[in-house]
Amino acid sequence: MPTLEQLIFALFPAALLVVSGAVATLRPPTAWMRSAILHLAAGVVFAVVAVELIPDLLRDHRPIETAIGFAIGVAAMLGLRAFSHANEKHERPEPPADPTKEPQSRPPNTVEPIALPIGMLAGIAIDLVIDGFMIGIGFAAGSKEGRMLAVALAIELVSLGLAVAAGMSKLGIARARSLVVLIGLSATFLAGAAIGMVLLSQLSNAWLAGVLSFGAAALLFLVTEELLTEAHEEEETLALTAMFFAGFLAFLILGMLGS
C-alpha cells in the first residue's frame, strides 16, 4: 500500500495543476511566461531521467528487459499522440456560416451551451494517468527517485494547468466550469499514481528494469515531443533557452546532494 510520503508527493503535482489553472482563469499568463515554464519543466524532467532513472538501469544491467520496456514506452506515447491528433481534427471549429443564409431561429431568452472539447480533454486525461503512473515508477526505484520525479512532474503540471485554462477561456467556457474540469483532470493524475504505487511496490529486479525503461521512454517523449515543442511556439530567446539548462542544473545538483 502507498505510504503517507508517497501520497503527499502525489497530491503535490495534482494540487498545482488545479491552482495554476485557477490562477490562469483570473489572470492569463503571457506567452513568454508559459514558454519559460515549459523550458524549465523540460530541463527538470530531462535531469530526472539522466540523473535518476538511467543510472539505475545501467547498474541493474538488464539489456533485454530494458529494450522491451523502452520499446513499449515509445509505442504507448506514439499511440497517445495519434489518438490526440485524431480527436483534434474532429474538434476543429466549423467554418463560419454563409452570411447569405438566414440563421435558424431559436426560442427567445435562451443561451446555447458551449460544448466542452471532450476529445482533447480525453487525450489530456490519458496523458495524466501515465504521468501519475510515473510517480509509482519513481517510488518503485526508490524514495529519492520518487520525490524528485514528483517535483519534476509538478512543474510540468503547472504548465499544463495554464494551457488548459487558457484553452477553455478561448472557447468561452465559464471559470467555474473550467475549475471543475481541472479538478477532474487532477483526479485522473491521482488515479494513475495510485495504480502505479499499488502495482509496482513489490517488483522483481527484472520487472523493475522494464518498468524503469518504460518510464524513461515516456519522460523523454514528454520532453522532446510535448514540452519543448510547445515551448518553441514562442520566439526563442537566450533567456528562454537558459531556463532549460537552469532546470537541468538545479536537479543535477539536487541529485548529487541527495545521494
Model pLDDT for residues 43-68, shown as the tens digit of each residue: 999 999 999 899 989 998 899 999 99
For 77, phi then psi, to 5°, come to: -70, -35
Q: How far apart (Å, rounded) are the C-alpha atoms in residues 121 and 185?
A: 8
Contact 155, 169 (CB under 8 A): no
pLDDT on residue 179: 92
Q: Is residue 242 included in any domain, yes or no? A: no
* Residue found under cell 483570473: 26
Q: Is residue 153 included in any domain, yes or no? A: yes
Which residues of the chain have a pLDDT value below 70?
A: 1, 87-116, 259
Q: How many domains are contained in the chain?
A: 1
Q: How far apart (Å, rounded) are the C-alpha atoms in residues 227 and 175?
A: 25
pLDDT on residue 110: 46
pLDDT on residue 203: 80
Q: Is residue 244 included in any domain, yes or no? A: no
- Non-local (6+) Cβ contacts of 186 within 8 A are 14, 15, 17, 18, 128
pLDDT on residue 174: 86
As given in the structure block, the three cell numbers for residue 202 are 513489490
Q: Is residue 164 included in any domain, yes or no? A: yes
Domain that holds residue 167: 4-91+117-233
Contact 167, 114 (CB under 8 A): no
- Non-local (6+) Cβ contacts of 205 within 8 A are 60, 62
Q: Is residue 152 included in any domain, yes or no? A: yes
On whether the pTM is more than 0.85, the answer is no
